[in-house]
Amino acid sequence: MRTLECDILVIGSGPGGSMTATVLAEAGLDVLLVEEGEDLTVDSAPSYTMAEMDQKYRAGGLTTTVGKTNVTYIEGRCVGGASEINAALYHPPHDATLDRWAREFKIAGFGADTLRPHFAAIEDEVGVNPRQEGEAPNSKLLERGAQALGWRTTEIKRFWTYPGGRRSMSRTLVPRAVAAGARLRPGTRVLRFSTRGRRALYAEARDAAGPLRIDFQRAVVCCGAVQTPALLRRSGVKKKVGDSLRLHPMVRIAARWDDEVNDPSYGVPVRQVEEFKPALTLGCSHSSQAHIALWLDPDHPDKRTVMENWRTVAVFYAAVCGEGRGSVRSLPVLNEPLVRYELTAGDYSLMDLGVQRLEQLVRAAGAVEVYKPSDLAVTTIHLFSSCPMGEDNSCPVDSYGRLKALDNVMVNDASLLPTSPGVNPQATIMAIARRNATSWVD
């Protein structure tokens, strides 16, 4: 069997993995950064298209939880992970959330004050900016409606430069890691660790040429909230792993105005309603013709007319700080995860309230017609908490990302977040990953 060797194996090149690889490589360590997906450019396919989904999403975006109400979710599967396909919104969590995590999960050396320098470094080194060309028309509608209702809003900064575009990991941290000496190996899937006692000996992997063995001194698993626990469980590490998955359930409505209000060339709208955070976030979705068709009720009596006038229509979302819990399990033989998730009564109630407030919002902004699906279609783009960090007995990972079951394996991605952050999680993932990786080389 072919064999690769490294001191530190980083599995997954999304926000957590790329930050980890950069910090460790720039500290002079021998890093191999392995990514299951391909190494693609940001503009290899137009954003939010079927071509992009085929190239950069796991299973083309056709992934869902199992439960009373299925929740459709997405995972990035390319160099840069979710940072290549998400809205790139930069939104650190509320200080109270970070301090509550430290207290409830007994996370040593953690809290808002501890993470603040790491957020500042991310803003400086990666590039976080407000939109400079003005906000999209539908984003302005949200602001207009909120002002009429007396609700606070804010423009969310993005991992973006103007001009220049998306500051995804494939454009920022991955090249930095490689420049510092890290080796990037796309198209390589790690199947499991071979272990003895409290140590992982090597990784069993596969690439286009077949089976591959990767020898390492330490490994850092950064595969995301679904794939990280799945890999660990395939490796025999199961205690408390994959038992506490959480997510932000999202529901959407569409609304129509008499005038054109929709210009997809602006990209993702960047304004959100702050009034009800972190429990409930109201915002604008990308409103291309395909997305409007997706969120219209299939049984709408005049769907053709609506689609012919799609530039008068915009899509809005309500994101809930979910109370429910789910699990991730590995399916035998297939090497694929089974994801279960149950929404709580509180989740359903808050989603219903979110739809009501969205309707209030768009009506206050002058909408003449509101389209709500007859069946509740729940989606999410934010998953986390499947391997929560802390010294509490419920945590399979310690305060700095070290796996408690194996002495030489760490976790450093969305899995570590103890509960729902109530905001777009990429900034939180990167700040925690930077904090943890820095502690490993100090």
Angle between helices 15-26 and 426-441 (to 10 degrees): 30
Task: Find out whether 328 and 415 touch, Cβ atoms under 8 Å.
Answer: no
Among the options 91, 118, 291, 382, which is catalytic? 382
As to burial, measured by CB atoms within 10 angstroms (0-12 exposed, 13-18 middle, 19+ buried), residue 281 is buried
Give me 197's structure tokens.
């006692």
Q: Is 382 a catalytic residue?
A: yes
- HSE-CB at 374 with a 13 A cutoff on CA atoms is 5
Give me 95's structure tokens.
């200080």
The answer for residues whose C-beta is within 8 angstroms of residue 320's C-beta and 6 or more apart is: 248, 249, 250, 279, 280, 347, 350, 351, 354
SS3 235: coil
SS3 209: coil
Q: Could you tell me which of 407, 414, 408, 406 has the C-alpha nearest to residue 388? A: 414
SS3 79: coil
Q: Could you tell me which of 173, 356, 130 has the C-alpha nearest to residue 253? A: 356
Give me 352's structure tokens.
């219903």
Give me 330's structure tokens.
């590995």
Instruction: Identify whether 229 is preceded by a cis peptide bond (ω within 30 of 0).
Output: no
Q: Could you tell me which of 319, 295, 315, 316 has the C-alpha nearest to residue 247? A: 319
Give me 441's structure tokens.
């080389």
- The alpha carbons of the chain give a radius of gyration, in whole angstroms, of 21
Task: Encode burial over 171-184: b for 16+ CB neighbours within 10 A, e otherwise.
Answer: bbbbebbbebebeb
Q: Report the chain's terminal Cα–Cα distance, integer Å.
A: 36
Rounded to 5 degrees, φ, ψ at 101 are -55, -45
Spatial distance between the Cα atoms of 277 and 199, rounded to a whole number of angstroms: 42
Just list the catalytic residues. 382
